[in-house]
Chain A
């Protein structure tokens, strides 16, 4: 079924929408959550959560790229679940590693991001990714959006792990300077 037809089902409040979403993107959503959490059961729960959130979001929303829309919901659900598990001192998944790496990107100074709106931050990130070479951008998105490990990225792109690590380190450095130049360090 075409994505636009699935979205129409959501707008008609047809329960088939969830079944069709599960059929077409269930594995994708579970995969997104799994990469973040590295726990099959939690990923499955995030997948179910994604359907509920999608159901609540459409209408009013009418996403143009349903897969990305669902992926973002699944990713947010996974991060929410990680926050809960962190509070409960349970499994940590991939998030602590990603957080640790992204700390390299934080501009110097205290209160960073405090006065920066979410929209401004996302705009800077989009501009940063826009100017990045294609392969490097893929590495970065696979790592920090999908939560792939370095080894998984290397395997998927036929690169060595050291190359992926080096590329990501350089991109983090570059992102730090982009955020600093963009006035994020307020």
Chain B
């Protein structure tokens, strides 16, 4: 066996490993996974023996704070990252504010039950600092939301709100969201974080450039209305987001016009109970037409024709049987089980065709599709 053959076989094994059962994948992503993300977070927190207990008795003026961290901070950080959506990137670990040592107070004094907690001048100053910072943040937000208060509406409109460098990397947006959130809000949901990122990015643009135009105003408005960060940034014209390539069409003629090729489906191609009117037609301009039919009993069948010869079924399921058979004079790749096919793909005259059905198709039904789709 040559090294190339060996590598090819290893690669096939590596690819097959990608199709292992979902639960193994999820289990390894979230080692303590038991259910929802919240449950996972709880489980991981518990297993890491990290607990933060705060009890306050306002009447007695007693406060006891106990922090126990028995795991290295980075391990806790990783586990928490996984618990919050299993979206960690090992080489780009997010630093967290997980406590890695006892609070810098007199631990012995605080551990004594019933001990009155004294506020030293340093603590008072720290608290005052936090209060001032909070006031500044609120004031800044108010001014930001109502720029007319400072007469900012008259500033020139023309410059882009943000440079591409500032906005291209979505990771930077996420970091901005993390920074915007206070430590106690570290687990805030990502949607809020996205809005905060948009707002903060807009603030950055304002402070860096001293200029805000209509695009930025729109971005801020979007952010205020709860739009996700990328929408707001895209509105400022600074970052391209993924465009939806599909366009819904009212008729096959319109679809053919946009696609630049014809797609004929004879009525006899459809199984009994489907059609003749399509439930849905959509097109990727210049590339693909998709026609969906809904059956009388709730099933659906999706027919596609696209430029090229690649498999355009869009179906990534594993089936018991995948085989290539000669059907209606075509080499057709069938996926499913013997005489119970869910996916059929073939190429003809430079175009690729695909049939994907939610209910099993017999070989003769597939044959009707192959013969009836042009």
Residues of A within 8 A of B (CB): 1, 13, 15, 18-19, 22-28, 30-31, 34-35, 38, 40, 44, 48, 51-53, 55-57, 59-61, 64-65, 67-69, 71-73, 75-76, 79, 95, 98-100, 102-103, 105-106, 110, 112-113, 117-119, 121-122, 125-126, 129, 134, 137-138, 141-142, 144-146, 148-149, 152, 155-158
Which of B97-105, B123-131, B151-159, B241-249 is the contact stretch?
Answer: B241-249
In angstroms, Cα B31 to Cα A146, docked, is: 13
What are 11 pairs between A and B in contact, CB < 8 Å? A24-B190, A30-B89, A40-B92, A52-B242, A67-B86, A76-B15, A99-B7, A118-B19, A118-B322, A141-B25, A158-B72
In angstroms, Cα B7 to Cα A118, docked, is: 17
How many residue pairs at the A-B interface have CB separations less than 8 Å? 194
Q: Which of B12, B13, B29, B171 has the most CB of A within 10 A?
A: B13
Q: Which residue of A lies closest to B94 (CB)?
A: A27
Interface of A is mostly: helix
Known: A60-B314, A105-B13. 11 other contacts (CB 8 A): A56-B314, A59-B302, A102-B13, A117-B321, A119-B319, A119-B320, A129-B21, A138-B28, A141-B28, A145-B24, A152-B90
Size category, B interface: 35 or more
A18 touches B9 (CB 8 A): no
B90 touches A31 (CB 8 A): yes
Partner of B28, one of A27, A67, A119, A137: A137
Report chain A residues within 8 Å CB of B318.
118-119, 122
B25 touches A71 (CB 8 A): yes
Partner of A155, one of B24, B75, B292: B75
Report chain B residues within 8 Å CB of A110.
1, 5
In angstroms, Cα B170 to Cα A44, docked, is: 9
In angstroms, Cα B10 to Cα A60, docked, is: 31
